[in-house]
Amino acid sequence: MSQQVFADRIGKSKSWVDKIERGVRRLDKFSVLHDIADVLQVDVQLLLGRDPERSPDTANCVDQVEVEDIRQALERYERLGTLFEAAPIEPIPLTDLEKSVSHAWMTFESANYAALARSLINLLKLGPAVEEESEERDRPKAANLLSQIYQIASSVLRKLGEPQLAWLAADRAISAAQRGDDPLLIGTATTRVANALRSLGRSRAALDLNIQVAQKILSQGGPAPTDAVYSVHGALLLQGSMAAAHCGDLPTARELLRSADQIADVVGDGKNHYWTSFGPTNVALHRAAAAVELGEGRMAINTHVSIDPESFQRLVPERRAHHYLDVARGYNQVGNLPEAGRLLVEASRIAPLEIRCRPIAHQVISDVLRRSRGAAPALLVSMAEELRLAA
């Protein structure tokens, strides 16, 4: 990168860059250091002569350095432009952003959160710039892509135990989807907001939000809703059932699951409209998860054993590993620790980072090991040692 190109990207003169490089002028503003780090795509700690603080027990997962980078990307406000000394973000073509977002969804569905976190840091900066620089006719599409970026970020952050950041990203996702004028995208963004609220302990608010938007989505679908409309409506009902279960509201959870079941029979399995994976099998997964939240481990296990294996195998890795984690919690609740351990190991085989990256998984592993008294699977013991978990 030439001095001139570098100077242009950080909003400085070539002469300023030359003086900094020769040591004639001091680089003493932290905000400028951050801008330089963005342009050079390096950690700002390296520019300060320090190694980034990385946790030794992340086992190739997302660490606090990357979470902090995501936080900073979410906190940027490119639309305020010259009010800040922020380095301008050079947008990419809309088609390139679309490909990158599609790849990010696939990475999420594969539960490769480490790779996804790194790409999200860049996408969260590029997305607003692309929308801002797009021609008028392309603005809605750019806004919808930005909404998807925020939704992916929200889902990952919630899994990593960062509910406040997850809520911020989800809220941004709804705003972007509104600019894109896609009601179904607004619906999926709503599930991210509700999930973040549930993680923050506001389950009743999450329940009300899911139900309200689910009804609106279906009413806007017309007399013959499409499978996509049914899928988003059904996803909202499923997340509502989880919020109800978290509240201890068994009747509401059951009613929402029953309604989702009826819609899922219309949609069928094997579809993934708006990245919902909605269908009869995914409804069964949520029925098991809701049972675990209610403390009904036996009910979760009975649901699990009734799921058609072939339909289950067709789900994306993230869904399957997540389900095994839920059912492992169910087995833990009923005291079947060997089976709980076996499912944790199986979940790690399908999607390693779904287990290694999630605080809830770490809690379950520790609890199973603590109660097993030497009877836990050797692979689970080995995994706990790699993660430096206390049993």
CA gap 319, 46 in Å, rounded: 37
Instruction: Write the CA distances from 94 to 131, 139, 142, 145, 387, integer angstroms.
Output: 9, 10, 7, 9, 40
Question: Measured between alpha carbons, how far is 46 from 32 in angstroms, rounded to an integer?
Answer: 14
Q: For the chain, where do the domains classified as CATH 1.10.260.40 start and end? A: 1-52
**pLDDT score for 66:** 84
Predicted local distance difference test score (pLDDT) of residue 383: 85
Specify the fold of 66-199.
1.25.40
Helices first, then strands: H and E counts in the chain: 21, 0
- What is the pTM assigned to this prediction? 0.82
- What's the rounded Cα separation, in Å, for the pair 31 and 72? 12
According to the model, what pLDDT value does residue 83 have?
44
The C-alpha R_g of the chain, in whole angstroms, comes to: 23
Q: How far apart are the first and last CA of the chain?
A: 51
pLDDT of residue 33: 75
The CATH code for residues 1-52 is 1.10.260.40
**Residue 45 confidence (pLDDT):** 62
pLDDT confidence of residue 57: 41
Which residues of the chain form CATH 1.25.40?
66-199
Check residue 86 and give its pLDDT. 54
* pLDDT value of residue 58: 43
**What pLDDT shows up at residue 72?**
85
pLDDT, block means (10 residues), the chain with 391 residues: 84 88 79 73 64 48 82 71 57 94 96 92 92 94 98 96 94 96 96 96 96 95 92 98 96 98 96 96 98 97 97 97 98 95 95 93 92 78 81 55
- pLDDT score for 54: 45
Q: What is the pLDDT of residue 374?
A: 66
